Amino acid sequence: MDAMDSKSKGSKKQSKSLLGKYELGRLLGRGTFAKVYLARPVAGGEPVAVKVLDKAEVMGTAGMAPRVLREVTAMRRLRHPNVLRLHEVLATRSRIYLVMELAPGGDLLSRLAALPRRRLPEHAARRVFVQLVAALSYCHARGVAHRDVKPQNVLLDGDGSLKVSDFGLSALPDSLRDDGRLHTACGTPAYAAPEVLRRKAYDGAKADAWSCGVILFVLLAGQLPFDDSNIADMCRKAHRREYEFPEWVSPAARRLINRLLDPNPATRVAVEALAAHPWFKRSLSVDSQLGGLLNGQPERALAFRAPAMNAFDIISMSPGLDLSGLFDKRNREKRFMTTASPEQTLEQLGRAGGKLGYVVVGKKGLECLPLGGLSGSGLAAMTVEMSEVAPPLMLVELRLEVADGDGDDEGKPFGWEELRHELGDVARGWHSCQDF
């Protein structure tokens, strides 16, 4: 018997019990097909949110059943601090219950609307945005494109940390056609990419990148870049880049938004590449918990700890590897983003070094000895620096160091692609410093 529909004359507590596992509380919100309730586990623990769907409505509405299935399938495979967690799915004969993580801070749009200027100072907008990027990078790495990224679907927990939610329109790998593209036009027009509005085949991850650009514009400007009730006119404006920045938006933020709001998806910057953008690497004086700013408190100096960690040197000791290309008078750098821990990253770089002919040594006790088999070029060194962008997102910078007095002879370039291949899934968003 459905606990919500129980007509028994039992106690009020019994009538609100969900299968003996949760005690349903007050209504938090409602949509076209669902209601969301506050609930507490009977066995004790943190409160949760329970999304209640009527089976008859779901099955009787075209396209609704696949949407629910997509939401459940996507959320089950995602476990990230900035993605709303699905704890479990329960069902009775008449209802479906999605038991989810509680986000008591509400959605980002409502919080922005409550601010006096309906926007955030840039340092706070950056903190919001890096969390959004961390969540979507994680989703894309697991084959999930959200396809409806907008402030209404970005929730806040009690500490002000972001939680991306509502994966009902998400696309999984099995959604791709034979051409490797998506073909279903979906999402919210003001945040949807031009190729989606024009019903062309599209890359779901690149469509999410466009939506991120719109959100960043909203966070900084307090308004939409494109806002027209006529979708065809709005699409034309988006294609012509007809938007204007308020004077307070910094040049670095403008450049980043321009890269995201690129009407050509082939040249639009990917979400996974954003951590290497200079706007992310600026001195961050931001609030690790956004609750204060989003509650309308005045702007203030906020502390954010993003420690840079000089982890180790990679010393080349392979007699078969031509390193003459290292010894010019330029540093050569690569950057990549990773969600692996520093320890995992170091371990994988160590394995890669073993295969490619490097020895990885820590800075403490480092001795650069003239090893047998190495040609007269001396020792080549690569420093590796890791910086936390937003947990668990790390930016890793690899730098080929220039040794004073070395020759300028040109040789084979360093084997970056080989290194990237050996790093596997640890390295995401691999870029040179000139890519931006």
Q: What pLDDT shows up at residue 63?
A: 82
**CATH number of the domain at 12-101, please?**
3.30.200.20
What percent of the chain lies above the pLDDT cut of 70?
72
* Helix or strand holding residue 40 (H, E): strand 34-41
Spatial distance between the Cα atoms of 52 and 98, rounded to a whole number of angstroms: 7
Spatial distance between the Cα atoms of 4 and 14, rounded to a whole number of angstroms: 10
The least confident of 115-119, 230-234, 361-365, 379-383 is 361-365
Residues of the chain with CATH 3.30.310: 308-435
Q: What pLDDT shows up at residue 1?
A: 45
User: What confidence tier does 282 reach under pLDDT thresholds 50, 70, 90?
Assistant: low
* Fold type of domain 308-435: TATA-Binding Protein (3.30.310)
CB 331 within 8 A of CB 379: no
Spatial distance between the Cα atoms of 219 and 253, rounded to a whole number of angstroms: 11
**Active-site option among 2, 54, 107, 148:** 148
Q: Which two tokens stand for residue 117?
A: 């200027």
141 φ/ψ angles, rounded to the nearest 5 degrees: -65, -20
Give the list of residues 6+ apart from residue 33 with CB closer than 8 angstroms, or none. 53, 54, 57, 58, 61, 64
CA dihedral 58, 59, 60, 61 (to 10 degrees): 50
Question: Does the domain made of 108-294 have the CATH classification 1.10.510.10?
Answer: yes
Q: What pLDDT shows up at residue 334?
A: 80
Q: What b/e sequence results for 310-326 when a residue is b if at least 16 CB atoms lie within 10 Å of its CB, and e otherwise?
A: ebbbbbbbbeebebbbb
Across 346-432, the runs of DSSP E, i.e. the strands, are 358-362, 381-390, 393-400, 428-432
Residue 51 is assigned to a ligand binding site: yes
Q: What pLDDT shows up at residue 406?
A: 39
Q: Is the pLDDT of residue 147 over 70?
A: yes
Better-predicted residue by pLDDT, 245 or 388:
245
0.75 surpassed by pTM = no
Q: Directed axis angle between helix 204-221 and helix 251-260, to 10°?
A: 150
Task: Mark whether 148 is an active-site residue.
Answer: yes
Of 252, 246, 247, 249, give the one whose Cα is nearest residue 282: 252
Predicted confidence (pLDDT) per residue in 149-173, tens digit: 999 999 999 888 899 999 989 998 8
Q: What pLDDT shows up at residue 379?
A: 39
The least confident of 243-247, 322-326, 365-369 is 365-369
* Highest-confidence segment of 50-54, 271-275, 305-309: 50-54
User: What confidence tier does 380 reach under pLDDT thresholds 50, 70, 90?
Assistant: very low
Q: What pLDDT shows up at residue 17?
A: 83
Residues of the chain with CATH 1.10.510.10: 108-294
* Helix or strand holding residue 197 (H, E): helix 194-197
Q: Directed axis angle between helix 342-356 and helix 416-423, to 10°?
A: 130
SS3 195: helix
Spatial distance between the Cα atoms of 7 and 418, rounded to a whole number of angstroms: 67
Q: Which two tokens stand for residue 57?
A: 């409505």
Q: What pLDDT shows up at residue 383?
A: 65
Q: What pLDDT shows up at residue 287?
A: 37
